[in-house]
Chains A and B, each alone.
Chain A
Amino acid sequence: MANLSIRKLKKSYGDTPVIKGVDIEINDGEFVVFVGPSGCGKSTLLRMIAGLEDITDGELEIGGHVVNELEPKDRKIAMVFQSYAIFPHMTVRENMAFGLTIAKASQEEKESKVNEAARILKMEHLLDRRPSQLSGGQRQRVAIGRAIVRQPSVFLFDEPLSNLDAALRMDMRMEISKLHKQLDATMIYVTHDQVEAMTLADKIVVLKDGEVQQIGAPMDLYHNPVNKFVAGFLGSPSMNFIEVRVNAVREGEVEVQSNSLDPIWIPSTIDAPTIGEQLSLGLRPQYLTLCTDTHEGKLHGKVVITERLGTETVVDLSLKDESRIIASVAEDAIFAEDQEVSLTFDPTQAHLFRDVRKSNS
């Protein structure tokens, strides 16, 4: 087991920087998830930790040792790949024992470690099969088993569930979570799926364009996102953003307004707002409430599309100023197309952001 320090880590391909100075501290036994849209550099960062990509600049420390120049095998890591990367010409047993075979371990050691890993993953009955005889979920389990056998200080997962179907993904997600508790190992997990990030992580690192946007516990990030990107990335459906103008300012609160939003006082989450300033108001769909009286609400618009998901109903609304927002309401709500509605929300659940320009990012 080990802690991990990433200090000012940089990576460029030629003149193109892909990781632009990343600092992350990961404690021993922590489950950290790197999350971000495709191309944000999360996989590259993981591969740099694994030693599969060179580090252009900065320092990577695993268990107190700088490992920048070490070969992957000397970093005490194990990695699980998106495509499983299990060897098709070997049985499950041979696959899991591969590292030990390479290290010339004794037959007994191999036997006991492989059996132990197989027991943890409940796949003792699959040991003599070939990968071609396994389902996707079973193959991924073999890959995880191969990682367990190595008894690494740090487990690295590179989008391990993206090739699985939805139901299986949920099962495996829970298994990985269980595994983390059972092994008490440091794990770094890369995904673009915010549900995986929210459910698995002790700590989430949100990345965009090779830069860390925010690091923190899942609920902390969900409730206190530092910028619009983090706010919009975590949570499903995504947060709504409405462009508003500051009407008035008082201690810790601002009054904002727009064409479709009646004036409302909101706790200020930004420094020194000024009157007349344009801001982005972030509202999570779940915190929007429909009003029975159309004049009672703060936001006014028309229903465009309704999606009934069973557990909830997602309503796509067009506001007065043509902007669109999404509200997630009770499962049995029924709406007609073009129906006039008004919405209200709890001001303490609203977020204010300054970067108005990037309202669609």
Chain B
Amino acid sequence: MAVANPDDRGLRLFVRYLVLTLIALIFIFPLVFMVMSSLKPDLQLLTDTNSLRAFLPVGDISFENYFAAFERAPVGLFVFNSVFVTGLTVILSLAVCSLAAFSFVFLNWKGRDLMLTVILATLIVPFETIAIPLLLIASKLPWLDFDGLTLGWLNTYRVQIIPFIADGLTVFLFVQYFKDLPRELIEAARVEGATWFQIFRRVVMPLSGPVIATAAILKFLAMYNQYLWPLMVVQEETYRPVMVGLQYFFQLNRAWGEIMAYLSLITLPVLAFYLYLQKAFIASIASTGVKG
């Protein structure tokens, strides 16, 4: 390759930044529009959509819409419900699916390959096809707690959590990742006297940062955006998650400012979680990206 002169390099860098900035702008426009609109009264919001003012914090700016949104519906409760259900599902799912994947990759047992095939086959079944049967089952399942034995799981947190813990996609992600871990690390740990569970906890999981981050992000997004299932199984406001709440909020009154405020609020946990894991993701690559 010819040696680039400094002017060429500067120009190329400029073009590269220009293109990247444009792409970034395209992605950030809807978010900026949402946040800016949430700060404006309805009338101004609608007139501003004719111009670039829609993306700028100009005119009559206030947090009125947020207060109104909180007054109109228990937004805080909805966000809590979603974060609680999503968080718990993500944690339990990572634990259960990584253990399952560990046994598929590292342990020898009869029917292992068949079982894995069956689990992977569930990936092609759309949720909508099993939603109704699942609803019928969930409505009749027993539960034992301090109040004694009850039948039916509708209008609870558990009906939103338990069916989604075991999940083919997460198992698949872990299986693929575990297969690429150096076998000799596992064997070295065995020779050193570690039990299978110790190998899982002390060797395999600490080296699985990237796949944990990936699986967590995917699971978080899927769970946080749940709409159909909670709509079917949760009628009471107490357990209602954000997406069903949004529909409910929308139906009450088309106050765009307030809707934008609501949307801004429910986007926050996703952004926070994503940014947090992005950091963990990079850190884990930095620490495991060495040839052992």
Contacts and interface: CB of A to CB of B under 8 A. Distances in A.
Interface of A: 50-52, 71-73, 77-79, 81-89, 98-99, 102-103, 130-132, 143, 146, 150
Given A85-B185, A85-B187, A89-B206, A98 B192 contact: yes
Interface residues of B, number: 20
B288 A73 contact: no
Most chain A CB atoms below 10 A, which of B187, B206, B207: B187
Contact of A81 (B187, B193, B194, B207): B187
B288 A78 contact: no
B191 interface: yes
Interface in B166-221: 182, 184-185, 187-194, 198, 202-203, 206-207
Contacts, number: 74
A88 B287 contact: yes
B192 A150 contact: yes
Nearest to A75: B191
Interface string B265-292: 0000000000000000000000110101
Contacts of A150: 192
Most chain A CB atoms below 10 A, which of B188, B202, B206: B188
Contact of B207 (A78, A84, A89): A89
A72 B287 contact: no
B258 to A, nearest CB: 48
Contact of A85 (B198, B206, B287, B292): B292
Contacts of A81: 184, 187-188
Given A85-B187, A130-B287, 6 more contacts: A71-B190, A79-B187, A81-B184, A85-B292, A87-B207, A88-B290
B287 A89 contact: yes
Contacts of A71: 190
A99 B192 CA distance: 5
Contact of A131 (B187, B188, B192, B292): B292
B292 A102 contact: no
B191 A78 contact: yes
B193 A85 contact: no
Contacts of B191: 50-52, 72-73, 77-79
B158 to A, nearest CB: 35
Contacts of A85: 182, 184-185, 187-188, 292
Interface in B233-292: 287-288, 290, 292
B279 to A, nearest CB: 17
Contacts of B287: 88-89, 130, 132
Contacts of B198: 102
B192 A73 contact: yes
Contacts of A143: 188
Contacts of A86: 188, 292
Contacts of B194: 73, 98, 102
B185 A89 contact: no
A337 to B, nearest CB: 41
Given A81-B188, A85-B188, A73 B292 contact: no
Interface in B49-73: none
12 contacts: A73-B194, A83-B182, A83-B292, A89-B206, A89-B207, A102-B193, A102-B202, A132-B290, A143-B188, A146-B188, A146-B192, A150-B192
A317 B254 CA distance: 96
A88 B207 CA distance: 8
8 tightest Cβ-Cβ pairs between the two chains A and B:
A73-B193, A132-B290, A85-B184, A85-B188, A99-B192, A89-B206, A81-B184, A72-B191
Nearest to B185: A85
A98 B190 contact: no
A85 B292 CA distance: 6
A87 B194 CA distance: 13
Interface in B104-160: none
A52 to B, nearest CB: 5
Given A86-B292, A89-B287, A131-B290, A73 B203 contact: no
A131 B202 CA distance: 16
B53 to A, nearest CB: 52
A325 to B, nearest CB: 41
Most chain A CB atoms below 10 A, which of B184, B191, B290: B191
A268 B259 CA distance: 101
Nearest to A74: B193
A73 B202 CA distance: 16
B105 to A, nearest CB: 16
A333 B190 CA distance: 55
Contacts of B187: 50, 52, 72, 79, 81, 85
Contacts of B182: 83, 85
A269 to B, nearest CB: 42
Contacts of A88: 207, 287-288, 290, 292
B190 A73 contact: yes
